[in-house]
Amino acid sequence: MNASRAKKTKVELKRHSKLLISILAIAKLKGQIRNYEVNGQMLKVEIGHLNKCNSIKPRFTVTVPEIDKYVKRYLPAKNIGFIIVSTSKGIMTHLTAIEKNLGGCLLAYFY
């Protein structure tokens, strides 16, 4: 978000984790991130159409019926953006989690 506010299109990070790479892969599929590249310890990210992204703290554990409550809380409108959920079957968007009938832990949101 800092790079987006400063009108930058690229960000280089010195440290990254597997969790961050998984979140970036989902964001790339949804069009929020144009591309990301891992070169050893460096992570290069090209920002796409991104209005806001943030982590969700504390990490709420939710069941499938409770996901809509948090969608209303964190996203500006019904079909705008997505919440990333960590489930027992991996990291996915809230729409995929509802479709597969999986609850989990809320990690972040993008719109």
Report residue 45's pLDDT band, with 50, 70 and 90 as the boundaries: very high
Instruction: Tell me whether strands 33-39 and 42-47 are parallel, antiparallel or unpaired.
Output: antiparallel
Beta bridge partners of 10: 46
pLDDT in tens, 12-31: 999 999 999 999 999 999 99
- Structural domains in the chain, CATH included, are 1-49 (3.30.1370.30), 51-111 (3.30.1490.10)
Peptide bond into 76 cis (omega under 30): no
Return the pLDDT at 3.
85
Structure tokens at 108: 């972040």
Return the pLDDT at 78.
83
> What is the rounded average pLDDT of the residues 5-11?
88
pLDDT in tens, 49-96: 888 999 999 999 999 999 999 999 999 998 899 999 999 999 999 999
Report residue 6's pLDDT band, with 50, 70 and 90 as the boundaries: confident
28: helix, strand or coil: helix
Which letter, b or e, does each residue of 6-33 get, where b requires 16 or more Cβ atoms within 10 Å of its Cβ?
eeeeebeeeeeeeeeebbbebbbebebb
Residue 52 has phi, psi (to 5 degrees) of -160, 145
